[in-house]
A = this chain, B = another copy of it.
């Protein structure tokens, strides 16, 4: 078995967790699952022992590199790759793969998002092992999540023929469906959610990039050969901004998928955060020191520096109440997506320090 590496994609920003998430503290640096661990740290931790931290590479935005490194003490600083700007997932993965090839030409690589939540970690690792074994045979492999609802917010993977051992061909990629189609997918059991997890031998991925995105392959080659910030800064912005799905995966002739059912959640909003959190008998997910009297189904988070504030709710239901040092949000749980309206209002008021 070749050595196994991970590439964690941690460049995302995101406004859906305002006021907790900010440009300088995006979702992956928050602990949205209830405990104190950030989503990013959990992503690295749960890979062990399949991928130890010293084999983890993280691609993030330059401005976030320091905080990202602090969140991952086991990951060597040299393995935190700093994108001068976001260019979607294809340049990110191509670059990281090319960096890893210099270290280990036979490397087996797992690419994973940094900001998802997984309940069943042993189950996740079992699926990971299957996907890595499939990738080791020379087939780029993905993990698809078994749908639990007719979700219209995700892309889907259609299952093709079985290849044995829980691995199937990917028949095709499907864009976000409408509700009726999502319900057919759920009933038909032939479609999985595309969770953005990819597994490959580094040489297989680089060959695919060479074949389908030759300019990108050339740019990445220049960046890694030069190894200087100047060339990175000059060349990275010239790479095509395209997802790995559109740029490579959908064009690949053979692609495998392993179905995963391990309590996955992409923690899309404060509503998801409430769903994942531990709750009291009244469905309140409270921060330490909060007091709820005749209150039900609320999410309360105190993310202030000293966390000594008493947050008292009386007679309110199904609210999200999030406190930071400089902001307070009060919004009904079911309207959590509308946090964006506040971010837009702050932008309009040029309150950049709050973004």
Contact = CB atoms under 8 A, between A and B. Distances in A.
Interface residues of A, number: 33
A309 B309 CA distance: 14
Contacts of A252: none
A332 B294 CA distance: 11
A319 B332 CA distance: 12
Nearest to A328: B311
Copies of this chain in its oligomeric complex = 2
Nearest to A313: B330
B327 A309 contact: yes
Contacts of A316: 319, 330-332
Contacts of A310: 19, 326-328, 346, 351, 354
B314 A319 contact: no
Given A311-B328, A312-B19, A291 B346 contact: yes
Interface in A45-73: none
Q: A323, A325, A331, A338: which has the most chain B beta carbons within 10 Å?
A: A331
Nearest to A335: B315
A326 B309 contact: yes
Interface in A284-301: 291, 293-294
A218 interface: no
A19 B315 CA distance: 16
A250 to B, nearest CB: 38
Contact of A338 (B315, B338, B354): B315
Contacts of A339: 314
A225 interface: no
A174 interface: no
A276 interface: no
Contacts of A354: 310
A180 interface: no
Interface string A330-342: 1110010011011
A321 interface: yes
A183 to B, nearest CB: 28
Contacts of A234: none
Interface of A: 19, 291, 293-294, 308-316, 319, 321, 323, 325-332, 335, 338-339, 341-342, 345-346, 351, 354
Given A293-B341, A314-B335, A314-B338, 15 more contacts: A19-B310, A291-B346, A308-B326, A309-B325, A309-B326, A310-B326, A310-B328, A311-B330, A312-B327, A314-B329, A314-B330, A314-B339, A315-B332, A315-B335, A316-B332
19 contacts: A291-B342, A293-B338, A293-B345, A308-B326, A309-B326, A309-B328, A310-B328, A310-B346, A311-B327, A311-B328, A312-B328, A312-B329, A312-B342, A312-B345, A314-B332, A314-B335, A316-B332, A323-B328, A330-B330
